[in-house]
Amino acid sequence: MRKKSFPSFCILIILAASLSAGCGRQHCLVKSAGRAYSDPFEYCGAVRNADLPGAPFSGPPLPPAIIAGLRKALNGRNIPDDILKAGSFWRCMEGKVYACFTGADIPCMAKADTTKTPDVAMLKFCTDSPEAGIIHAYVTGRMTVYSWRCRHGLPETVEQVAWPDSRGFIANHWYEIVQPPKAGP
């Protein structure tokens, strides 16, 4: 009978523990290197994908470069910083920085709902309004990627109106934030 190698066995246990803790391979390697990032662009370049910034990011919750980039993306030069800080989120996708402003009930941190199966609220709505040309977002939820209507008392999709990005969020809610040029010497 062949004896198992102890070091290989330990590596497998450590890898399995890291993966089960929700730690992606790239993120774990960066964390284990002991480096902290205060720049969101460097952080995203290192971790590649993070739905919420976390260790090893050590900067402010909403860094000034993201506030400025989001303000530009929203064409919102009159939006005060405190409003942007209170209603914005940022994340990393494929090594780039993306930001979202909640504004008028935009569900920034919710994943897109791609199901074509109506829920109880839609069924009730269509029972009450069997030929409604639209089922409003307060009924369908703001995460759905479809427009819905009632036909003969049953909910049905009309068309797809939004698309999820590679991380599952509604793509048109998120803006890529471009790194501002570094100040020269």
List pLDDT tens digits, range 62-82.
999 999 999 999 998 899 999
The Cα–Cα gap between 136 and 174 comes to 22
What is the pLDDT averaged over residues 97-109? Answer: 92
The Cα–Cα gap between 179 and 185 comes to 18
Q: How confident is the model at residue 23 (pLDDT cuts 50, 70, 90)?
A: very low
Are 142 and 176 part of one and the same domain? Answer: no
In which residue are the tokens 């501002």 written? 180
Are 90 and 143 part of one and the same domain? Answer: no
Amino acid making up residue 127? T
Are 78 and 49 part of one and the same domain? Answer: yes
What is the pLDDT averaged over residues 152-172? Answer: 97
Are 57 and 90 part of one and the same domain? Answer: yes
Give the residue with greater pLDDT, 9 vs 35: 35
pTM: 0.77
Are 104 and 135 part of one and the same domain? Answer: no
48, part of any domain: yes
Please give the DSSP secondary-structure letter assigned to residue 145: S
pLDDT score for 1: 39
The Cα–Cα gap between 88 and 65 comes to 13
What is the pLDDT averaged over residues 147-175? Answer: 97
**40-47 helix and 25-32 helix, angle to the nearest 10 degrees:** 120
- Six-digit token pair at 118? 């109506």
Please give the DSSP secondary-structure letter assigned to residue 110: S
Domain of 97, in residue numbers: 35-108+170-180
Are 95 and 46 part of one and the same domain? Answer: yes
Q: How many domains does the chain have?
A: 2
155, part of any domain: yes
129, part of any domain: yes
The Cα–Cα gap between 110 and 185 comes to 42
Share of the chain above pLDDT 90, in %: 72
The DSSP secondary structure of 159-170, one letter per residue, reads EE---B-TTSBB
The Cα–Cα gap between 154 and 37 comes to 51
Number of other CB atoms surrounding residue 82 within 10 Å: 8
pLDDT score for 15: 32
13, part of any domain: no
Are 81 and 103 part of one and the same domain? Answer: yes
3-state secondary structure of 33: coil
62, part of any domain: yes
The Cα–Cα gap between 158 and 101 comes to 27
Are 104 and 125 part of one and the same domain? Answer: no
Are 99 and 58 part of one and the same domain? Answer: yes
22, part of any domain: no
pLDDT score for 185: 66
3-state secondary structure of 99: strand
137, part of any domain: yes
Are 134 and 82 part of one and the same domain? Answer: no
Task: Name the H helices within 48-153.
Answer: 64-74, 81-87, 120-128, 137-140
